[in-house]
Chains A and B, each alone.
Chain A
Amino acid sequence: MMENYDVAIIGGGSAGLAALKHLSNLGKQAILLEAGKQVGTKNISGGILYSKKPKNGRTYNVEDVYGPEFLNDAPLERRITQYMLHSTSRNKVFTMNLTAAHEYQANFGYSVLLNRLNAWFARHAGESAERQGGGIVSGVHVRSLSWQGEKTLIETDELDPFEAKAVIAADGVNSEVAEMTGARAKFTPEQLYQGVKVVVKMPEEIIEQRFGIGQDEGAAHLFAGDITLNHIGGGFLYTNRDTLSVGAVYHYDSLMGRPAEPYALVNALLKNPMVAEFVKDEVAVKEEIDKNLPKEEQLRIRFAVSKLLKTRNELRDAWHSPAARKRLVEGGKYKAEEEIKARLDSVQNELASKYRTKFVTDYVELEYGAKLVPDGKRCVMKKPYFKNILFVGDAAGRGVFIGPRIEGLNVGIDDAVRAANAVARAIDRNNFAPQYMGEYYGQSIEESPYTRDMKEIDKDYLKIFLDASRDVPKDIIGQRYGMVFRLMSSGTLRGLAVGFANILGYDKLLPLIESEDTYVQVPVELAEKMGRPVQATYEPTLPTVAQRVAGLKYDDDRASHIKVLNSKSEFMKRMVTLCPTNCYSMEGGDVTLQHEACIECGTCAKETEWRHPRGEKGVVYQYG
């Protein structure tokens, strides 16, 4: 007897989990299949999670799905209260405060790390689902979907085949469900951004001092100008609780045109004097052990130093965290908070005097990662369903990326609720036909304010953006934009102009709005003419890509999940440069793949046979 379920959700990211939670809230049984060993190990985002309150229509927000517990208990990093855009040119920076744009129609925006957050989502969604006889099945990779009558037969690499009446595809930007079923073509470079991120370690209170924020506040900094190395896109830096997320997101076709290594782009950002000063910290550097000492002695020193360094880092983190200080004192390990400092000093002294450890100014990277981001305004699925499958979030190419407005997680969650509603309605009527379920979902998606944002210019948002750039001299914007700006600065004319632009078609305007001019030349000129000088007090030691890969965790699979189809194509030759972890190299005239370091971003997916690794295999992100 084959097992049979009402709903199978494929993919345990924030969208898939929201679908599971919402279906369970509606009293429906659903199962979720996740390829990672645990939910959250395959997910990575910039990332800020928004909750919105649009003037027209409604969005389904994360707190609507998970209830008040979300804000009380979820592992959120920091509520973003400052949103700045910096134009850079060498050692000059011109800053615009875009906090009003960040707060536009928003209940909140929190910086998040997906590994922790999705694990929390999974716990809550999983518990609700169990009550309905469903739940989360992790470590399972879906291999194929086929139809037996109206039911979908799901085959995986790990389990016996089973049937589902409805499927929610939440398997991300490189959706295999979309590809297997032919629901949409693979995304093209024109439709994607490639994002690369590093997580930087920094004690809690140092972050607060550095960014001028309180305990319950956070800062977001965006960067344009010469840090882009002449590509369309930009850099970001978000404060987390005790880490920073620093990343570079660039339009993929811009990278294809003039290939640049993804890590070079993130390095360009880290080398910028302003960013370098943001990420700097006091870092312990071990002294080389004297090779002439007896082996046992060398070993003893190595262990002693590692142990002391571990203690030092833990104590230092604790000393700079009010919660950790309190915990240590209440736990009885220290009588007063000052004792923690005294102990920290003594450990540092011991390291310095006994083992000649140096304490230098530098920065510490914890994790390197990359992902493709679907540019919603260019790739949103017109019909986000196929037979009895509903596509949500990245899988449906849905995200709102307009200049400094960067939203993906909230869009996926909104989609997920709409998909869950459509499925619940279908279960009640036992009708999973596309005319009943798919069209209903399509209609609901059409009503989503996010869909509107992917298609049209929002004149109110534009006004906020223009207000923020009021101080910018019009001659810098150039003759081409001067006219536009003059039009836009009057309320009535702006309304007319935006109306006209929207009639003309957003897609026709995009090349004008998103160009090297707007992302590179204008910011560079701004910085040169109006910027203030910034000085870095040190030069950050940037890890090589090999060191970054070595810092990642993998569950190695001997068999490659990627197959190169044409080892001589121009596209594949570009991959030698564009793969974030250098998996491709040239040998003779052929591009060869070593898949072991793959972080499953999908940059090479377009011209390869690209699968996610089997269940539990592949990269295991610790922060995400």
Chain B
Amino acid sequence: MANLNVAIIVKLEPDFSEGNVSYNADGTLNRAETKSILGPHSAVASNAAFYAKVRYGARIAVTTMGPPIADSALQQAQLLCDADELHLYSDRMFAGADTLATAEVLRTGISKVEGKMDIVFSGHRASDGETGQTGPQTAWKLGFTFLGNVIDYDVDVQNRTVRAKRMISLQGFYDVVEEVEAPLPVFIAIDPSYKASFNTVSQRLAFEKYRKEAKARAQDYKQYLKVFNAQQLGVDPKLVGLPGSPTIVYKVERIPKAKASRKAEVVDGASREQLAKVAAKMYEVLGGMVIK
């Protein structure tokens, strides 16, 4: 019996990496031509959950709302975190959902995960929506303490508390790291800069063990997969999909290209005098930073 229960909410997103993404002539995303993968922030959240598995032997559930093909996001997340349970919430009724309606589905889904939930992880935001609201809204609906921008955490399993470091970025100020402690359960939105570190031999060995297990499980992921429709979840139709969404996407505009504020000059590198001029210019601008 696991003494720590963890869930992750993830999202299947377009693969924005080079060579994979494709745009229409008007600058909007060509969804048919672009592959979908587990979102990069969801991957960070999965890594954060995996830390709990390696350190505390946590039981992990990965959940997502989306079309049937979103199960591939669950599989990819399982590969990262060695999940014990995969949930896909899929129903035509959920189409057109905004963040609040999505949070309602996720909240209901998480309540169906085995065991009493201790920590729910989300990414920082989605790479296609960029709102960063689904996490906090799910936390609010669950009634869990919300910890955002978390870059590091540890759990005191005995005393049922979590200690987390949060990165606070204020425009114009230096970044501040805030350390907080909260009783479980909590909702953690993980910062993109999060990187798990395993500092002892036994942690490294556990890491390897679970990573191998994850590989085997992910190959066989359907065995861990549970698919729920609206009825099976028992959600209120008024709170999900388009009817449950107080906001809609009204219009997407291209961000106008900013005018170049820097001047560039092309220098012929073949001539020594020209190079000397460049060096002189660099010295003028950078001063003592220039290395001989």
Contact = CB atoms under 8 A, between A and B. Distances in A.
Interface in A148-182: 158-160, 162
B204 interface: yes
Contacts of B202: 3
Nearest to A127: B212
Contact of B209 (A3, A130, A140): A130
6 contacts: A3-B202, A31-B201, A130-B205, A137-B204, A137-B208, A162-B201
A580 interface: no
A5 B201 CA distance: 9
Interface of A: 3, 5, 31, 126, 130, 134-137, 140, 158-160, 162
Contacts of A140: 204
Interface string B202-235: 1011001100000000000000000000000000
A123 to B, nearest CB: 9
10 shortest interchain CB distances as A-B pairs: A137-B204, A135-B205, A160-B200, A160-B199, A162-B201, A3-B201, A159-B199, A3-B200, A135-B208, A3-B202
Given A136-B208, A137-B205, A162-B201, 18 more contacts: A3-B200, A3-B201, A5-B201, A31-B201, A31-B205, A126-B208, A130-B208, A130-B209, A134-B205, A135-B208, A135-B209, A137-B201, A137-B204, A137-B208, A140-B204, A159-B199, A160-B199, A162-B200
* Secondary structure of the B contact surface, majority rule: helix
Contacts of A3: 200-202
A26 B108 CA distance: 52
Interface in B171-212: 199-202, 204-205, 208-209
Nearest to B206: A135
A159 B203 CA distance: 10
A135 B201 CA distance: 9
A322 to B, nearest CB: 28
A162 B200 CA distance: 8
Nearest to A126: B208
A159 B201 contact: yes
Nearest to A164: B201
Nearest to B204: A137
A13 to B, nearest CB: 19
B119 to A, nearest CB: 25
A178 to B, nearest CB: 22
Nearest to B200: A160
Most buried by A among B200, B201, B202: B201
A31 B200 CA distance: 12
A159 B200 contact: yes
Contacts of A130: 205, 208-209
A135 B208 CA distance: 8
B219 to A, nearest CB: 16
Contacts of A126: 208
Contacts of A134: 205
Nearest to A4: B201
Contacts of A159: 199-201, 204
A4 to B, nearest CB: 10
Nearest to A31: B201
B82 to A, nearest CB: 15
Interface string B88-123: 000000000000000000000000000000000000
Contacts of B209: 130, 135
Nearest to B209: A130
Nearest to B207: A137
A135 B203 CA distance: 11
A130 B204 CA distance: 12
Contacts of B201: 3, 5, 31, 137, 159, 162
Nearest to A136: B208
Contacts of A162: 200-201
A504 to B, nearest CB: 51
Contacts of A160: 199-200
A526 B208 CA distance: 56
B85 to A, nearest CB: 24
B57 to A, nearest CB: 15
Contacts of B200: 3, 159-160, 162
A448 to B, nearest CB: 31
A199 to B, nearest CB: 27
B18 to A, nearest CB: 11
A33 B209 CA distance: 15
A502 to B, nearest CB: 47
B5 to A, nearest CB: 26
Contacts of A136: 208
